Amino acid sequence: MRLFFAGVILFVMFSFALGQMKNESFTQNNIEQELKRLENEWLNSYLRGDKQTFERIVADDFTRTDESGKFATKAEEKELVQAPPASVKVSLTNEDVQVRVYGDTAIVTGRIVSKVQGGLNFQSRFTDTFVKRNGRWQVVARHYSRIPAERTVINLDSKIYDAYIGQYELAPNVVISVTKEGEKLMSQTTGQSKMELLPESEIEFFIKGFTAQFVFVRDETGQVTKLIINQEGQRVTAKKLK
């Protein structure tokens, strides 16, 4: 009889524990689905110019940081919530979204695929921090980085590199040294590691994994006089020293 009651108690305890696990799993799944839904609503608010949805999802103490270290507040981010002209087709999609929940805090990671009419397409990775306050999830921080687009390396006669060898002044006491090593054109900025410059054209080069484009410029006599660096809409000119 004692064994019978002991068995019943163990069965009840096991059933209770199993039920608790199922409830926790169900709750976790619900939270994940809710946060994914909020991510989609937030992203779509930019396309619709829907500032009301933006206000609901984004916390007042929200901050955003991009790959260049640029910082923005909620008010500054809200200025980006503007529907594009009807004549321009734009789509934004969240992909590879993953959610990790830690009580009333959650970390959401994913990838945004942006497609703009005219072939201006790009992708970004993001990490968002959500906090549950007064029973409602809101995003308090975002960090995102644009994923470098696929670029094509062309075959180029390495003799062309001879004209590019030299030092280019990027800023006072900051120099880009361009050298040739075998068939490769190399670049090294003061205090940094040496990296290979890969040709996209006879004058345009890039470094694998970076968005910057390096353009060698000649004067009217054909001599290379400067190096222009284009990155994220910014343009920096480095004068050739020697």
Per-residue pLDDT of the chain (242 residues; tens, 9 = 90+): 554 444 445 444 545 444 554 555 557 889 999 999 999 999 999 999 999 999 999 999 999 998 878 899 999 999 999 888 777 788 999 999 999 999 999 999 999 999 887 666 788 999 999 999 999 999 999 999 888 777 889 999 999 999 999 999 999 999 999 999 999 999 999 999 999 999 999 999 999 888 889 999 999 888 999 999 988 667 899 999 97
Question: Which of the listed residues 147, 182, 215 is the one where a domain comes to its end?
Answer: 147
Q: What is the pTM of this model?
A: 0.61
Domain match, 25 and 128 both: yes
Residues 6 or more apart whose CB falls under 8 angstroms from that of 126 comprise: 108, 109, 110, 111, 112, 142, 143, 144
Q: How, if at all, do strands 194-199 and 122-133 pair?
A: unpaired
**Does residue 81 lie in a domain region?**
yes
Would you state the pLDDT for residue 18? Answer: 46
Residues 6 or more apart whose CB falls under 8 angstroms from that of 225 comprise: 217, 218, 219, 239, 240
**Does residue 152 lie in a domain region?**
no
Domain match, 140 and 163 both: no
Residues 6 or more apart whose CB falls under 8 angstroms from that of 121 comprise: 113, 114, 115
Question: Which of the listed residues 116, 147, 178 is the one where a domain comes to its end?
Answer: 147
Domain match, 166 and 203 both: yes
How many structural domains are present in the chain? 2
**Does residue 201 lie in a domain region?**
yes
| Range of the structural domain that residue 189 is part of | 158-240
Domain match, 64 and 130 both: yes
| CATH number of the domain enclosing 233 | 2.40.128.50
**Does residue 188 lie in a domain region?**
yes
- Residue pair 171/165 in contact by the 8 Å Cβ criterion: no
